[in-house]
């Protein structure tokens, strides 16, 4: 019986990496895992209530079974009439029409309009048979029955003209029965939910959200939000990862801190999920066990990537689940998630796999130095329309990302960017914070 083949970087503890994959090689492996015979692998669909569907990805085309509106309706408050009866009417040449009655929302007029008559009508009310236009009330003057009107006939004086079809919403003009209203793969917006409601959809077919197990490893970790004490630090990575998972359409199912102990780590890896994110334990420290555990019990496909930060990142599978080994240093963790894990979650959930960041081109204030063969993720600030690089070292300084407006990617075939070069900035925020006046 042959022993399980192992990755050359399965155990790099106190030895270092034998070699590092390129970012392109890591992305290629991930792409192979997320595609089957060239078809995008999506998680199964499920049905959610209309009120819970905003922000979810539509699993199937939605075809309307009804017309919207389902009847001809008034688009103005006024009078339903025959457009020809308004020909030549002006404020100085009013034309009288007999008022037959009124139409209200959900209360149609029981009868028909004929030449020389009109029906008072409110916005949204069914247009009565025989009427082909609605004259706004601002272009009329009403004469109610009076003692001087022996026939007690109510009249409206028409003081303006309308053309046939004016101020009438036709049946099916918004949505016609049998038409595709929303396409598969659409991330549902609030207005989409309104349209679904208008055609009578109460349960919406959506792609199931990826379930994500988040594990933070380290003897030094305290639970998130705990006040640091002694030589221990509060776990910052798992709440950051949970927020990133939520942003990318996933659901953090488990989130836990685990000591640097192989049995505890393996038990945490076995929790049911679609994707596993492990923060820490992937580098060359004596107690970095995660990579060797994955190689022994699953598949360690990638370990070590030529990038800065995040070079100890790893990827593999365990019992059909994608596993991402993210460095424990917070900036490295964020960078590795952005490059690899986030792409996987968005793909599994039917979303655009590319980075969900707006982009802007601007000129560098200072040079960014890199080396050929390595991809750099450089945090930057924008000041007066120019790009100011922050330190690209110091992967433990998470505040460098909170001070940054975004980041610049230096590709592997470049030694960096010179001062004055125009670069593309990926912006952390879609909308910059407002400038509040001094109090």
Confidence of residue 439 (pLDDT cuts 50, 70, 90): very low
Domain at 103, CATH number: 2.170.190.11
Q: For residue range 87-144, what is the model confidence (pLDDT) as tens digits?
A: 999 999 999 999 999 999 999 999 999 999 999 999 999 999 999 999 999 999 987 6
* Mean pLDDT for all residues in the chain: 89
Predicted local confidence at residue 180, as pLDDT:
98
Enumerate long-range contacts of 26-29, CB under 8 Å, 24 or more apart.
26/302, 26/305, 26/313, 26/315, 26/339, 26/340, 27/339, 27/340, 27/343, 29/301, 29/302, 29/315
pLDDT average, residue stretch 146-169 = 81
The number of domains in the chain is 4
- In this prediction the pTM is 0.84
The answer on 194 and 63 residing in a single domain is yes
Same domain, 333 and 227: yes
Model confidence pLDDT, tens digit, residues 293-306: 998 899 999 999 99
| Within-domain flag for 14 | no
pLDDT of residue 350: 93
Structure tokens belonging to residue 105: 């929302």
> CATH number for the domain including 399?
2.40.340.10
User: Is 330 part of a structural domain of the chain?
Assistant: yes
- Tell whether 7 is covered by a domain: no
- CATH classification of the domain holding 305: 3.40.980.10
* Residue 3 within a domain: no
The answer as to whether 12 is a domain residue is no
The answer on 30 and 121 residing in a single domain is no
The reply to whether 268 and 293 lie within a common domain is yes
Q: State whether the Cα torsion 401-404-406-409 is positive or negative.
A: negative
Indicate whether 330 and 384 sit together in one domain: no
Domain end call among 143, 169, 195: 169
Are the beta carbons of 317 and 331 closer than 8 angstroms? no
- 435 part of a folded domain: no
Q: Are residues 340 and 213 in the same domain?
A: yes
| Percentage with pLDDT > 70 across the chain | 89
39 and 55 assigned to the same domain: no
Whether residue 337 is found in the same domain as residue 216 = yes
- Does 364 lie in the same domain as 318? no
Helix (H) or strand (E) holding 6: none
pLDDT at 245 over 90: yes
Whether residue 342 sits in one domain with residue 325: yes
Residue that wins the pLDDT comparison between 407 and 284:
407
Q: How many whole angstroms separate alpha carbon 74 and alpha carbon 105?
A: 9
Select from 169, 195, 226 the last residue of a domain.
Answer: 169
- Measured between alpha carbons, how far is 209 from 261 in angstroms, rounded to an integer? 31
Give a yes or no: residue 56 inside a domain: yes
Q: Are residues 60 and 148 in the same domain?
A: no
CATH number for 187: 3.90.105.10
Q: What's the pLDDT tens digit per position in 341-377?
A: 999 999 999 999 999 999 999 999 999 999 999 999 9
Domain span at residue 301?
23-44+209-348
Query: pLDDT tens digits, residue range 12-42?
Result: 666 767 788 999 999 999 998 888 555 557 8
Which residues are CB-neighbours of 244 under 8 A, at least 6 positions away? 334, 337, 338, 342
Let me know if residue 18 belongs to a domain. Answer: no
Q: Are residues 323 and 343 in the same domain?
A: yes
């Amino acid at each position: 019986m042959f022993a399980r083949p192992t990755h050359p970087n399965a155990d790099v503890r106190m030895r270092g990496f034998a070699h590092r994959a390129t970012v392109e090689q890591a992305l290629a492996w991930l792409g192979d895992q997320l595609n089957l015979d060239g078809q995008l692998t999506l998680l199964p669909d499920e049905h959610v209530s209309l009120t819970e569907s905003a922000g979810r990805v539509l699993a199937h085309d939605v075809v309307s079974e009804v017309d919207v509106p389902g009847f001809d309706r008034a688009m103005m408050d006024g009078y339903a009439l025959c457009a020809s009866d308004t020909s030549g009417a002006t404020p100085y040449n009013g034309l009288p029409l007999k008022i037959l009655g009124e139409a209200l929302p959900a209360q149609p007029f029981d009868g028909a309009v004929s030449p020389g008559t009109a029906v008072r009508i409110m916005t949204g009310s069914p247009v009565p048979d025989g009427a082909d236009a609605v004259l706004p009330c601002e272009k009329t003057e009403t004469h109610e029955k009076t003692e001087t009107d022996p026939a007690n006939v109510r009249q409206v004086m028409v003081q303006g003209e309308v053309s046939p079809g004016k101020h009438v919403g036709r049946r099916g003009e918004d949505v016609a029965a049998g038409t595709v209203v929303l396409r598969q793969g659409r991330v549902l917006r609030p207005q989409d939910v309104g349209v679904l409601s208008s055609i009578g959809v109460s349960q919406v077919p959506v792609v199931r959200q990826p379930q994500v197990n988040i594990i933070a490893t380290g003897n030094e970790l305290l639970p998130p939000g705990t006040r640091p004490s002694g030589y221990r630090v509060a776990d910052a990575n798992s709440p950051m990862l949970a927020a990133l998972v939520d942003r990318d359409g996933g659901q953090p199912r488990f989130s836990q801190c685990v000591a640097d102990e192989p049995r505890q780590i393996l038990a945490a890896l076995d929790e049911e999920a679609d994707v596993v994110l492990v923060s820490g334990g992937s580098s060359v420290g004596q107690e970095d066990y995660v990579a060797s555990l994955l190689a022994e019990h699953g598949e360690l496909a990638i370990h070590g990537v030529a990038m800065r930060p995040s070079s100890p990142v790893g990827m593999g599978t365990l019992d059909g689940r994608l596993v991402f080994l993210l460095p424990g240093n917070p900036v490295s963790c964020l960078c590795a998630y952005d490059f690899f894990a986030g792409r996987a979650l968005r793909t599994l959930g039917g979303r655009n796999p590319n980075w969900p960041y707006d982009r802007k081109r601007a000129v560098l204030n200072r040079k960014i130095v890199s080396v050929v063969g390595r991809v750099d993720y450089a945090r930057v600030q924008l000041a007066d329309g120019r790009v100011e690089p922050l330190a690209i070292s110091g992967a433990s300084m998470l505040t460098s990302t909170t001070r940054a407006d975004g980041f610049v990617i230096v590709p592997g075939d470049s030694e960096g960017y010179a001062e004055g070069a125009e670069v593309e900035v990926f912006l952390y925020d879609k909308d910059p914070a407002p400038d509040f006046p001094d109090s």
